[in-house]
Amino acid sequence: MLIRLAEQADSEAIRRIYNQEVRQSAATFDLVERTPEDQEAWLSERSGAFSVLVAELDNLVVGFAALSPYKERAAYRTTVENSVYVDPDWRGRGVADGLLVELLAVARTSGFHVVVARIGGGNEASIALHEKHGFTRVGTEREVGRKFGRWQDVVVMQALLEER
């Protein structure tokens, strides 16, 4: 598996993976699929410490991960939020694991102190993945989103990078 920085040429593959989650899961609380233009703009806005990584197997992008600013206020600038998405056909093959390892390395190299994961929809696999990589649960936001006609909780986890 090759994990590398995403390029604009990866935009459609990222969009395909993300939009499947929009349609079928509560991993994202987006309710509207991204258009090609939306996806290109999203990818263009990410660079440096907030770059997007992709996982490639057999010359196919099968997953992606990103760091995003946690909050806009300056006091939060050393905290980031992570996202990891994997094509359902490629789950259980170490893709998310590899992406998260590399994403945490980017966070450390970029000087971040805390990485926050906000995991929606009761995604136990994502919770287990994050625990494996040193994240601890810090709380649950109850019924903060509504998707598929029901209230959704968000499990909040964090990793303190200096402790790892």
Q: What CATH number should be reported for the domain holding residue 7?
A: 3.40.630.30
Do the beta carbons of residue 49 and residue 79 sit within 8 Å? no
Do the beta carbons of residue 22 and residue 32 sit within 8 Å? yes
What is the number of domains present in the chain? Answer: 1
- At 19-35, the pLDDT tens digits run 999 999 999 999 999 99
- At 76-100, the pLDDT tens digits run 999 999 999 999 999 999 999 999 9
Report the distance separating Cα 51 and Cα 48, nearest Å: 5
